Structure 1
Amino acid sequence: MWCARSIARACFRCSRPNSTALRQSWTQSQAACSHGLHRNSPQAVDRVKFPACDCAPTILRTARLRRGPSFHAEAPPMTQHQPAPKKPAKSGQPGWSYLAHKLLQRLQDHEDLPDPDAGATDDDPARMSDPRPPALTSHTLLTGLRLAASFGSQAAVNAAITPNAITLLRGVTAEDWPALHYILPCLLPAIWQIREQKPLDSFPIRRLPPRCLRLIPIGSGDRPTDLARLLMVGFDSAAPLLIVLAGGALPEPRLQDRMQVIDFAPVDAQILQALLARTHPPARPGDSAALQMAMNGFHPGMADLLIALRGATVAEVAHNLAALRATRERAPDDPPHLDDIGGDSPALSAARAMVADLQLWRAGTLGWHDLTRTVLFHGPPGTGKSWLAQAMARSAGFAAIPASFGEWQAAGHLGDMLKAMRASFAEARRRAPAMLILDELDAVGTRADRGPHQNYRVMVVNAFLALMDDIARDEGVVVVATCNHPDLIDPAVLRPGRFDLRLTVPLPDAATLAGVLRRHLNLPEPEIRDLAQRAVGHSMADLDAALRGLRGEARRAGRPLTSDDLRAAFGADDDPAMTRRIAIHECGHALVTAALGHGQIQHIALKRTGGQTRIRRAPRAGLIADHSDLLAELMAGRAAERLVYGTVTSGAGGPDDSDLALATRVALAIETRFGLGAEGPLWLGETTDWLHDKAIRHRLRARIEAAEAQALAILTPHRTLLEDMAQTLATRRELSGQEAEEWLEKVRTGEEVVATHAPESGPSPVAASQPPACQTG
């Protein structure tokens, strides 16, 4: 705390011979204190006789008018604070500029004074050679300007220090808090002090003295019980209370309704211009516009800002920010913001909803236990599941904590693996608010596995379940998991409460691919859309590998990457005849599904090795007719090929999720598990060993062939519609649910067409679906 001794010593710069007078000044200030006067009070200063020199007026004015940052408990007996008159801002300046000027002036005045307890003396030659005070750092100035912009005016500050006032300052990050903690006292009038209440402080039994502000910072690591106790201390007094959400949240969001809420202003172009006016040479014409353009919609971190501010001129700072923005927008490994991803698929919509709720929680308007805090994204490899999880963390402002069962297992034997698993969960707690992103969740396995490593699997699953249950009780950690095969995961892991949402993320559509290309390439929008359409059917991993490979080829050739390179890469394997046949196959699925009315088409797309039709199945009663219709939908692609070409390909068969595989399982279930086949009301188990029974195999074949005939009968009157729709799909490579509906409605109404113009292309949702859904190809 700055006392009269400090002020007197400041005079050494020009009155070194007056050491005797200075000692007398210090003695007199001590005497003033012995008379019950605070050394920093105007009364104490008035009793001090400063040496007669040119500095005396400045010293006296400083002693009377300015106060350094102080968090002392005792407040000096001062006169009642009177609200300062509001000074109008100069033309072209923000309304908070006058408050910012006063705040930074108080802070600079405090920094000008030498520290009486510092090791360097006033006889230091370096100090004597350059008597100018050191300038405030850019971080300090930025924090002060943001604080002034947050309150806006001295009137708002005065309102926050009136008796019984409760003010909530939210939006403060962990990196903002140290500087803000130091600057806060300079926001207050000189006669005010701050008493900070911390979790470990003893419970006070006396009220605060007048002109004292109670400060309660809430960090991300504070436990709800500690926060409730802190708030009880703050509420148990008429003293004004300032609560700062420094990464944490209120334990009870409803309390916010009784507070004056102030958002901590982010760094924008106005704040940056105010800073540069203090730290850099005057801007030249056009510099301010360049700075405004660089900062428009861009919110760099503090470290990036400080690096950009190392530019010697405003123009250099604007250039640094523009370069940083361009790098961030095109960085392949930098996850996007969810707002940069087009579409409204179930997976993306759920991700956005979760992030919106997390932001409400951080603002103190939503309780933690009212949130969806766990989600599992599953789908084929390379579809961008981890990419979406990283985008959620960035959009929510949460720390991303990546982990996987593969990494944990690489730590060593069972004990080492469990230790690594616990360490990941502990790190997420420590860095809260955080998002724990678990890849390869299907590696957890299931306790039902009766293999040779069953005991190992049981211990791993049990340990994981315990960690998931523990972290669900704490605030600030969201768990996002990804996997390729959710059917391999123990059912206890997937139950609600551990994973509340399970969402399929198939291959990305054109809208998603366009967003990725925009981040990587500086191309006109029409070219971006054209390339995105050509890239439909490629996974996110395919796209990333293609971009890296093409950049390398262009670099070795000594030329930039062009859109022609990408067009050639994305269309290199295209066979127009095969593309049309695949489109016929997929449109057959869609038309038969629409005609039977048992599902809604969500998306149709051509892939590199086939096609995919996503169908949201409607609930069915389970009658034999319902199962027969499902078989017809599964066989409709093969029937469409037979109708148009007179032959069929192997496209309906192949892997265990192919049309024929799914149809065989449905037909087998009718015979052996549903009690609807020739075996009567018997349940013969879920095994596929019955396929070795020749009689059952014969009945399955008859059912599947009848289903294909049923689909062919539905498609035959609509052959022209089928071919026109397939031509549109072959050209665009995908149809959204809404676009497909324009064609499918003709099947429901029985309308036939001879020639049809393709509907105009529009935005498509991100490739994702949620149960109950079916994908056919």
Structure 2
Amino acid sequence: MPDNRDNRSPDKDPQNGGGNPWMKSLFIWAGILLALILFVQIVDGGSRGAGANGMAYSEFLNRVDEGSVKEVAISKEVISGKLTNGETFRANAVPDPQLTTRLREKGVSFQGEPEPQTSVWLILLYQAMPFLLILGVAFFIMRQMQKNAGSGAMGFGRSKAKLLTEKHGRVTFDDVAGIDEAREELQEIVDFLKDPTKFARLGGKIPKGALLVGPPGTGKTLLARAIAGEANVPFFTISGSDFVEMFVGVGASRVRDMFEQAKKNAPCIVFIDEIDAVGRHRGAGLGNGNDEREQTLNQLLVEMDGFEANEGIIIIAATNRPDVLDPALLRPGRFDRQVVVPRPDIEGRERILAVHMKKVPLAPDVDPRTIARGTPGFSGADLANLVNEAALTAARKGKRLVAMKEFEEAKDKVMMGAERKSMVMTEDEKKATAYHEAGHALVSLHVPGCDPLHKVTIIPRGRALGVTWNLPERDRYSMSMKQMKARLALCFGGRISEQLIYGADELNTGASNDIQQATDMARSMVMEYGMSEKLGWLRYRDNQEEVFLGHSVARSQSVSEETARLIDSEVRRLIEEAEATARKVLTDKIDELHRLAGALLEFETLSGEESKRVIRGEDIGREDSSSRRPSLPTAGSSIPSTRKPPRGPFGDPAPQGA
């Protein structure tokens, strides 16, 4: 079977410059060391005196006068010779015209020592060595800087796009699940890359650019890689932030270089992730618009649809903020095809789970359909994280297979946060938390329009001391007024439950997040959704944003003082109606509230079905009855005012304090 892997050695890859990088570094440092040695020799050469057995010139004359010098060799700089006792000596030469006469009188044998002949080229090399050393060090430093910014001279302007050939382990459409509509829209791009003449025969032109729009984690980058994998063409990937640099003109230069590389590898795909980093509206904010980001955007526009044709180059970009992109990017001839990559529905989630579960050993009780039904709103990345958390949980327990229990624990951890088992709570705090969550759960069971109760727990998770978790029966894309009013009542179930049991004087800060959720929802109903008869079907709030000095600034629509008072009164009316609904349910079902709170203190966590059995007075059938604690009495004790349990009806973290 042929091996599809790229057998080129990374050390000899032409993109890496060829050769072994360790050998290059060794040669460079060896050259620097040799230059230092020569430099030391130049500086120190001639400064060394007589060296070993050195003798002062005056002492040398005394030895001559004593007759203890046998023979002498005289050079320009050094006088060397041998004493009568056989010892050798060296002395620095001093200009002395009487020396030869004195040696002749004492009968000393002497001779002149010729000076060594030094090459002119060697002298020039010695003199030029310091300058060559400085130039070599400077060249080495500049090369390292260029390597960080891009290879070659003036590497700051080189593109940072990475070329992925995908020869081994490539991604195809089989690895992408849950976004069938997006796959179908991009299928013809694959067909064009495989057979461009198929469209050219009828005079058709394939779109030059496709913009993938969707929330984070939905698989936009994976989808772009799958297109390149299906067509088996080179795939260039770069982030929008990689174009912008602190130097003016660098971004535009990188755009030009990226398209030059793409032309050499055409047909190919160029994928620009987070294009909103460079493609925002031009002229927004202060200044004359001639900044680095806008120059980069202008060059990108020219390259995509300018005078020069870029045949065979498909530009695919991804963003989750299409509203901030410049209109010139979205016109025909550029990103003229917008492909929405939404969060998957229940069918898509099941297929995504099946893809990620292929690498995990599963127990027979694992049902992807059940997991998909319990994870509404999860993206592909969330589901991948869910499968990974389940595998890690099973590994910590020492299991060989991942069972449904691990997936349930992983789902609770991802959606509600990890359990804080080490947190110490007093009995009064546990009772107050139990009544708070029981109030939320009871309202959700008795108010029409609430989502079905999935789970309620008083085990601290994340920043919440307790969680009441409601899940819709199916994927929801809109909410009715009845459902929103039911959710408002659900928000106040915990606060009213504590008020009925402990009295108004014992209210605490635990319901701050509930109040915030209810206020925001009621204000949206009045100002955005047209759910107020007095204000009519008008929008009184604008969510558009403007870019000012690099920051997004919300722009709110101004209203008159009379309208503002009317908005506040309508918001208060919705809140008071929700409070009255929750109070009536909890007052009429006070016995069920006590039973549910007692069961929460006994078992700590109840499912939706178990909660229904508890309020009917039935046994929930738990086997671990031996570990039960005494049931909660019908009347609770007072709660210390220092308690600060931040919790919300859906497990959302609440701010500390009120």
Relative to the length of structure 2, the TM-score reads 0.41
Structure of higher CA gyration radius: 2
